[in-house]
Structure 1
Amino acid sequence: MYNPTVARLTYRALLGRKRALILFALPAMLILIAVAVRMFNGADDQVAADVLGGFALATMVPLIGVIAGTGAIGPEIDDGSIVYLLAKPVKRPVIVFTKLIVAIAVTMVFSALPTFIAGYILNGNGQQVAVAYTVAALVASIAYSALFLLLGTVSRHAVVIGLVYALVWEALFGSLIAGARTLSVQQWALALAEKVTGDGLVSSEVGLPTAVVLLAVVTVVATWFAGYKLRTMSVAGEE
């Protein structure tokens, strides 16, 4: 289910110069914010939770997920180079699964790790805040990667759609409309963070059992449908 050659090509595409600049810029911004907040505010558990929840989980993780998820396959479909990969003796579900693993790995490295570092800078992991948001970033990375990989297989405007979902649906509507919070990867991930802290610093609109089920369902269904779309794509690149 994993092809090293496909993985190597995907890593090379994702970590090219332009995407790498964005991938490094967002974590660097988070750490700079954490350093500045710690210098001017000192160690404060609630402030740490606000920074990690407001920037890391609400903005950085989904944006990196968009870059990694759509970038793992979208550009190859857009420029037609996917036909060369499809012509190889590699099963198409294997291609999708391999690209998903790469997208998840990239998203985790560039989002969960900086979240953990920023959390320690902010409050030294007081009240388990750094660990809680790192766990949330890890599970969100999986769901976002699967969701945005699917978008990359079904639309030439995957990046735009992904940005609308991440910045408009989750960040804007999710803060204003209760129903939108329920259909939010961010809220599902926050349910795990809430379980880790367990003291009211972190709260989610979704219960933990529901969050776990929804995270699993979205990941599995998105991965399956991306594989289905690739299976129905002809070598000529036409559905």
Structure 2
Amino acid sequence: MYNPTVARLTYRALLGRRRAAILFVLPALLIVISLAVRAFSGADDQVTSDVLGGFAIATMVPLIGVIAGTGAIGPEIDDGSIVYLLSKPLKRPSIILTKLTVAIAVTMAFSAIPTLVAGLILNGNGGQIAVAYTIAALVASIAYSALFLLLGTVSRHAVVIGLVYALVWEALFGSLVPGARTLSVQQWALALAQKVAGQDAVSSDVGLPLAVVLLVAVTCVATWYAGRRLRSLTLAGEE
């Protein structure tokens, strides 16, 4: 189902000069913050958890997911170039799965790796905190990529909607409002981090079994519906 040609074109679109520069900003900022915090406060597990949970997982990962997920297909739909891709003898699920794979890979590279590096800088992986948050970033990257890829197929304002979701729902409501936490990818990912590092180091309001079910369900449903939307787009173009 993976198509190397589609993957190459998608990587080229996502890692173009302008978009790649945007992708590097947040990871670079996380590393700078981590260096400054370590220099001023030393190695502290609670501070490490606050930085990785408050900035890396709550802000950086969803924002990078927005850029990679919507950018994998949204611009092609907006400018009409998707028609050329759809005119090729390619199965629509293959196109979606390939673009999702690329979006996941890019999101993981620009979020999970910096999270691990930041954690090692902050406390040298004391209490497995760096590894725990890295796992959370990896898992969240999959769900965010699927959600935002779907968003790119259903709206021409996918980036704006994605930013609102990432900044308002995930970073604000998902962290502060108890009822909203259950419906937050951030909290689902933190449930896995909590399993690795322990409840004292990482906090999540969602139990691990429910978190795993929701992560898998959201990823699968979003991917399936994105493929369905792409089929509808093809039919509309042919009519």
TM-score (norm 1): 0.98
Look up the equivalent residue of 1:145 and give its one-letter code: S
Look up the equivalent residue of 1:219 and give its one-letter code: T
1:231 to partner: Cα distance: 1.0
For 2:82, the equivalent position in structure 1 comes to 82
User: Which consecutive aligned stretches of 4+ in structure 1 deviate over 3 angstroms post-superposition?
Assistant: 235-239
Residues 54-107 of structure 1: per-residue CA shift (max 9 Å, x gap): 000000000000000000000000000000000001101100000000000000
In the alignment, does 2:103 pair up with 1:96?
no
For 2:220, the equivalent position in structure 1 comes to 220
Give, in whole Å, the separation in 1 of the partners of 2:186 and 2:201.
16
Alignment of 1:178-217 (within 5 A): 178-217=178-217
Alignment of 1:105-184 (within 5 A): 105-184=105-184
Residues 87 and 235 of structure 1 are in contact (CA less than 8 Å); yes or no, is this contact kept in structure 2?
no
Residues 174 and 186 of structure 2 are in contact (CA less than 8 Å); yes or no, is this contact kept in structure 1?
no
Give, in whole Å, the separation in 2 of the partners of 1:123 and 1:199.
18
Farther off after superposition, 76-85 or 160-169: 160-169
SS, match of residue 233 in structure 2: coil
1:150 to partner: Cα distance: 0.1
SS, match of residue 203 in structure 1: coil
Alignment of 1:30-109 (within 5 A): 30-109=30-109
Give, in whole Å, the separation in 2 of the partners of 1:15 and 1:236.
30
Identity of matched residues, %? 81
Give, in whole Å, the separation in 2 of the partners of 1:127 and 1:11.
36
Give, in whole Å, the separation in 2 of the partners of 1:36 and 1:176.
26
Alignment of 1:4-43 (within 5 A): 4-43=4-43
Residues 7-55 of structure 1: per-residue CA shift (max 9 Å, x gap): 0000000001111011111100000000000000000011000000000
CA RMSD of aligned residues (A): 1.2
1:235 to partner: Cα distance: 6.5
- Shift of the 180–159 alpha-carbon distance from structure 1 to 2, 3 Å rule, reads same
Give, in whole Å, the separation in 1 of the partners of 2:161 and 2:199.
36
Gaps of 5+ in 1: none
Give, in whole Å, the separation in 2 of the partners of 1:117 and 1:175.
23
Residues 83 and 235 of structure 1 are in contact (CA less than 8 Å); yes or no, is this contact kept in structure 2?
no
- Shift of the 238–186 alpha-carbon distance from structure 1 to 2, 3 Å rule, reads farther
Give, in whole Å, the separation in 2 of the partners of 1:153 and 1:238.
17
Farther off after superposition, 24-33 or 226-235: 226-235
Aligned length: 239
- Shift of the 128–73 alpha-carbon distance from structure 1 to 2, 3 Å rule, reads same
Gaps of 5+ in 2: none
1:168 to partner: Cα distance: 0.4
